[in-house]
Structure 1
Amino acid sequence: MAPEKNTAALLADSIFLYAREVYLWNEQLPGAGQFNTGKYVISNDVLDHKRELFDITRFAVNPITGKSYEDHPFQPSEPKYSVIIGTGEQTSVADDPINTRLLSVSARFGINLVVTDDHAIYIKYVIKGSEAAAAGLKRGMRIWHINGKPVAANAAYYQYVQKVFSEATQLVLDGETAGNHHTYHLTYRRNNYFEPILKDTVLTQPSGRKVGYLAYLRFIDPNFGYKDLDLVMNDFTANNVSDVIIDLRYNGGGNLAELDRFANLLIPGSANGKIMRTERYNNVMKTGNTPLLHLQPLLGNNGLPVYLDGKLITYGDIDYTEAGNTTYFQKINGPGSLKKIYFIVSEETASAAELLISCLQPYVQTVLIGVSHKGAPAVVSTYGKPVGFFPLRIGPLHIYYSMFNNINARGEGDYYDGMRAALSVYDDPRYDLAESKEPGLEAALRLINGHARIAPRQAADGELHPGSWRNLNTPVQEPGIMKSYLRLKNGTIIKR
């Protein structure tokens, strides 16, 4: 009789067996007897769960590149998409309750900072509706003092800034715009901001042509009653805009329901009723042969199990067929006859933000303008995250396996290396979004107005730009594609 396995050994087995059932590329995984889960067991109660998940993802090889689908360009020791979180470990954006996700996009004060190669600190963006926005802070401001301490070019100061923005309840900033210095006093209040629109406006061109501009930070859950997106699009319609620029440069994705609403606002009326996107799961999930998923209760946003007619609903009750996971356009408001949409993107543009572009491409011409924070850009590509997931709980572990990808009406959706921009310019933090000299907007307007493209290294005003920059106070996180609605095998829609 074989000895009973300890806790860590059982967890190790479960991580692999669940992957065999739900992982998007499960057909490339070895058999249960061919994968040595025991080598990840450090002791009876300790498991190297991150290394096991990483090794599992190495089997998923993209035949086009010959490399793993989950090769991470910035963190090669971690999977690009799949995530595993143990007790007490830092959670990802995807693991937070929705209301926490909304607040986390802007640290504590509604402000995101960058530091440039010449050690200057600028505001990268300010959240609409935050106390910072009400006080008049905006992107492009150079910061000279933070809580009384002058900006210094050393790691200790940057750690101090990160601590202030993650823990402090009071913030005093000395900022400069166009040579004018001001001091701003801010107080952290947990529920005073969450709006994802960074900037929106209608720009009238010298020819009289009107261009709608919208910078959108994150796809949130529409259950919150957020309606400003509809208002902006209706304003574009009322102003008879001929062209629309959607700025997704810092948009890491988010909720599919909000993506669908955004796509329905942008799509031409002629596409109404046609395919928007289709979710593809592995063949095991399509056939419903998922005994392990029947052990996973479906949890609502309150963290409690979901019941229907007194029956506990599990992830094994979900319909994973393509027919049951195809979404069709339902044109609502917004411009109804756009033929071309300009998207400003960066390597931070990921997940649902990329999917929005993909869904529109069969029906409207999309032009991608890349902005780079790395100084002189060659060709900017988006992050490349066409996969989504839902959380599974295995003992003390939360696991987000890559479970599905989305294809558009042309069957396209394999942009694992990102979407390449047609034109790339520097992302200059000295200029506010929607400001005419901001290089991304300037490039888009030049294309719209039929002018020559600007040189990739040229700053908008012809002056030298301050070099590359990096995020200072808030780490960049790319949430996966998250679902608010699930269809059961009997056709019932479950809202989470």
Structure 2
Amino acid sequence: MKLTFCYKMMASLFVVSAIFTACSKDKPAPIKPVDPPKPTQEQLIADSIYLFSKEIYYWQDIIGTSTYAMFNPRQYVVKDDALKTAENVIGAIRNYNVEDKKHGFSYAEDYQSGEADANASSPKAATYYENDYGISIKAGWKSRVIKPTSSADFAGWFVSFCYPSSGAGQAGVVRGMKLSKIGDLTLGYNEASVNKLNDMFAYQTIKTSPVEFIKANGDTLKTVLSVGKYIPNSFFKYDTIMSAGGRKVGYFMYRFFDDKENSQAPMNTVFNYFKSKNIQDIIIDLRCNNGGFTSAQNMLANYLAPSSVSGQVMYQTHFNSNLQNGNYTVLKTRFPDYRTFALNYNSTYFNTGASLDIPKVYIIVSKRSASASELLINNLKSAGVLGANLITIGDANTYGKPVGFFSISLFKKVTFWTVSMFAKNQNLESVPYDGLVPDYFVYDGVDKDFGDSTEDCVKAALTLIDGGVVSKSVNKGTVIRAASNGLSERIKDAPSRYDNMIFSR
């Protein structure tokens, strides 16, 4: 019996063992978790631009209602192209505001190492290079009017500006020369010439070319121009001019507002020179000045404003309400102190201890006068500062850029500039998007050098200084756009770091 019991029990155990063995064999192997793919650098760039902009965009009340899923920044990614990815995201952000979309204020660019300068805390001056031809071109007209009645009035394509340190400047090119030929193309007022000029100087798809210029004396300058690096100089030209009525006038052609470290010493040099010459009037030429750092604007404004306004508000920098109140998270990785954006921390005051105390200031402008240039005019034009004693002269409204930026760089690949601030003077007036209207509309004499007393805008200023009469209205002839498709309006300039109002103290 025992044997039988043992046998039966062993048999039962065998069956049970077999069952468990079978079950064990049928059980699938455990599934190892698969890690999600790591985001690419381009995806992280797209995410970062959206998340930063959601907090810093001036029109945050609009973009702030969006969600990550709604915006979907990664839809704008271009594989292995950080810049194109950044440009795509910024383009989508611009759609949140009609003026940003229209003017393209917010933008992205290849990585700029000068972010510390833009954030106003750089301990020393940085060396910044431009990499282009270093010249600008503008149409000239025989009748010397702003709006000629016919394309037959065309006098040529003239050098409106040239950096002496650029390749063109080193070859002897100066303002006032007429560019007559690029390669085999003789330039005229036609589509082919406009396309060639833009391809070479704005888009730089032409990297090098033989060119011919005609000098003021009729001589020809033949040379080869190439895209190249150079250090631009913002303090382009300053001197004294004697008016016909015997007034000693200071003239200052200021090309851009450089950062504080690069501006303080040369600014002092310029105005100490004017003081030593006992000038009675001053002309500030901003017709080629497309902006730059607000810290340099502060310096210039303090020299030009009357000493009586010292201690008054010059302007206020307005950020969106969330930044002003410290309601942000992502940006704290760059700016942990919310007071950086508080309104009372962003009021700039006049400090006019070194003022020239000149009763009237004359400023020459053009449609290229933008951002920090317009900020200067808006601050001085305030009724409590110079008011009507700030006189503007030019051939067009200024650009119309009341907004400003600070830069954010990502992975040392791209730098982006989202509109983050809005500037208002002591009367809470801002620059209109249509630009500031000149007090006197006067032709830009591009066939003459800066500071030439016979150049149309300088001549107009000198006439006013002597108590003479200058017409305030623009020439009433048919707009050139109607007569000849507006070819002269289609000439573009190469982009520059200083095409901004860069927030700095």
With normalisation by structure 1, the TM-score equals 0.72
Aligned ranges 1:2-401 → 2 under 5 Å: 14-29=48-63, 31-33=65-67, 36-38=70-72, 41=75, 50-60=87-97, 68-72=98-102, 80-85=104-109, 102-104=128-130, 107-108=132-133, 110-114=134-138, 118=154, 120-128=156-164, 137-144=173-180, 151-153=186-188, 154=192, 157-158=196-197, 161-162=200-201, 167-168=207-208, 174-182=213-221, 190=229, 193-224=231-262, 227-296=265-334, 314=335, 319-333=340-354, 335=356, 337-362=357-382, 363-364=385-386, 365-371=389-395, 380-393=396-409, 398-401=415-418
Q: 1:82 to 1:444 in 2, by over 3 A?
A: same
CA distance in 1, matches of 2:353, 2:287: 25
| Residues 374 and 431 in structure 2, CA contact (< 8 A), matched pair in contact too | no
State the percentage of identical aligned residues: 25
Q: Choose which of 468, 471, 494 in structure 2 pairs with 1:475.
A: 494
**Letter matched to residue 218 of structure 2:** G
Q: Deviations over 1:397-428 (max 9, x none)?
A: 53311111222222222423211112212223
Cα displacement string for residues 92-146 of structure 1 (whole angstroms, at most 9, x for unaligned residues): 99989899985428x34x5433456648332212335667667754311223456
Residue correspondences, number: 429
More helix by percentage: 2
94 and 425 in structure 1: CA distance in 2 versus 1, 3 angstrom threshold: farther
Report the alpha carbon displacement of residue 210 of structure 1 after superposing the two structures with TM: 2.0
Amino acid at match of 1:427: D
Structure 1 residues 315, 426: closer, same or farther in 2, change over 3 A? farther
The aligned residue for residue 3 of structure 2 is: none
Q: Which amino acid aligns with 1:475?
A: A
Look up the match of 1:64.
Answer: none
Deviations 1:239-264 (A, max 9, x none): 33222111111101111221111112
The structure showing larger relative contact order (alpha-carbon pairs under 8 Å, at least 6 residues apart) is: 2
Distance 1:220 1:103 in 2: 12
**Worse-matched range after superposition: 155-164 or 439-448:** 155-164
Q: Which blocks of at least 5 consecutive residues in structure 1 are unaligned? A: 61-67, 74-79, 297-313, 372-379, 460-465, 486-496
Q: Structure 2 vs 1, CA of residues 292 and 40 (structure 1 numbering), >3 Å: closer, same or farther?
A: closer
Q: Distance in 1 between matches of 2:417 and 2:223?
A: 41
Once the two structures are superposed, what CA deviation does each residue of 1:416-449 show, in whole Å capped at 9, x if it has no partner? Answer: 3211112212223212222233222222223222
1:365-393 Cα deviation digits (max 9, x unpaired): 3222122xxxxxxxx22111121111224
Instruction: Tell me the secondary structure at the aligned position of residue 263 of structure 1.
Output: helix
How far the C-alpha of 1:273 sits from its partner, in A, is 2.5
Instruction: Report the AA paired with residue 207 of structure 1.
Output: G
Give the whole-Å Cα distance in 2 for the aligned partners of 1:221 and 1:230. Answer: 14
Distance 1:164 1:56 in 2: 27
Give distance in 1, aligned partners of 2:244 and 2:351: 35
TM normalised by structure 2 equals 0.71
Shift of 1:484: 4.4
SS at 2:362 equivalent: strand
Question: Which residue of structure 1 lines up, in the alignment, with residue 13 of structure 2?
Answer: none
1:39-98 per-residue CA deviation (whole Å, 9 max, x = no partner) reads: 8616795996545534433333xxxxxxx232425xxxxxx311134xxxx679998989
- Alpha-carbon distance, 1:285 to partner: 0.8
Q: Which has the larger radius of gyration?
A: 2
* Partners of 1:424 and 1:456 within 8 A in 2: yes
Moved more, 203-212 or 158-167: 158-167
User: Could you tell me whether the CA contact under 8 Å between 2:78 and 2:85 is conserved in 1?
Assistant: no
Residue equivalent to 2:475: 457
> What code does the residue aligned with 2:424 have?
I
Deviations 1:185-209 (A, max 9, x none): 8899855x53223332222223222
Structure 2 residue 453 is matched with structure 1 residue 433? no
Q: Structure 2 vs 1, CA of residues 176 and 33 (structure 1 numbering), >3 Å: closer, same or farther?
A: closer
CA distance 1:187–1:131, shift in 2 (3 Å): same
1:131-177 Cα offsets, whole Å, 9 max, x none, are 7667754311223456x857445357547854999745x97754321
Distance 1:322 1:217, change over 3 A: same
| Distance apart, 1:218 and its partner CA | 0.5
How well do the aligned residues superpose, as a CA RMSD in angstroms?
4.1
Is the CA contact (8 Å cut-off) linking 1:246 and 1:344 kept in structure 2?
A: yes
Gapped runs of 5+ residues in structure 2? 1-34, 119-124, 141-150, 478-483
Is contact 1:350–1:385 with CA below 8 Å preserved after alignment?
Answer: yes
